[in-house]
Structure 1
Amino acid sequence: MKIELIAKSLTMWSCMITVALMAAPQTAQAVLPACVPKVSQAVVRVPPGKPRMMAGYFQLDNGCRNAIVLNTVRSSDFGEVSIHETVERDNVARMRYVPALTVAPGDRVVFRPGGLHLMLMKPKSNLKIGSRIPIRMSGPGWSLQVMFDVKGMAG
């Protein structure tokens, strides 16, 4: 009887140690700081008048060891911000919503007119050319606030 109790106790301790060791790498990984991509050439283009929609362009460089995903874009200056891509089909350009963008390690993605871009809708105020606005970009394990230069359509 005493031997059975010791055997059960050893089995229980063995299971607990195994579970703890299996969880340890995940815990250690969660503590490490996330790799954050680099954003440059960030600009919002404002058409003349009182536009209800604007476009944002930038360059996104993934210098991380792993792929990153960009799936959330927000700004306190707009009611809605989303990623879109201009797609041409049968000589007709259409915009397509992009729910998430995966960028491979070492890759660069350029958001530009006629391609990927941010759709900035429902501006909360009139943006002044020459000002800067914050836009927060994030994905699983990372978040970054980027200051975008506000420019006119030509400059």
Structure 2
Amino acid sequence: MKRLWMALVLVFACSLAAANEAKPLAEDPVVEQRLIRISEDIRCLVCQNESLAGSRADLANDLRREIRKLIREGKTDAEITDFLVSRYGDFVLYRPPVKPLTWVLWFGPFLLLLGGVVFLIRFLRQRQQAHAAVAETPLSDEERRRAKALLDATEN
């Protein structure tokens, strides 16, 4: 029993030793608010489906540090966004601008859907025409005789 208590005390002491003190968000809450507002519209380049504000990747931490530095230098939100776009391209934006380079991002899914619908309609029409052509063709005497023989063989 004494060993169990010693083990529990040891585990508790180790967990306390490993605990870190929570880091403050920033020295300046105004800078942190601007950082959050800007980084919510920026895509994490590592995660790709997560905003920079929500990502915990090392690159995201570096980018947030860079954005804080730019904010302290007095850059506007638009200047910071332009800096990131010039460095990483339109891909870094969650809502890239509509221009020839991003037409595939904006219109590609609709074109794929439209192409799928057109393909489906053509396929169904061809199939319907093939069935109609088969249904209109009468059986020859030989085909009738073979069908009758098959039916008679299954009845016995």
TM-score category of the 2 structures, normalised to the smaller one: under 0.3
Larger strand proportion of the pair: 1
**TM-score, normalised to structure 1's length?**
0.28
Task: Give the helix-richer structure, 1 or 2.
Answer: 2
State TM-score, norm by structure 2: 0.27
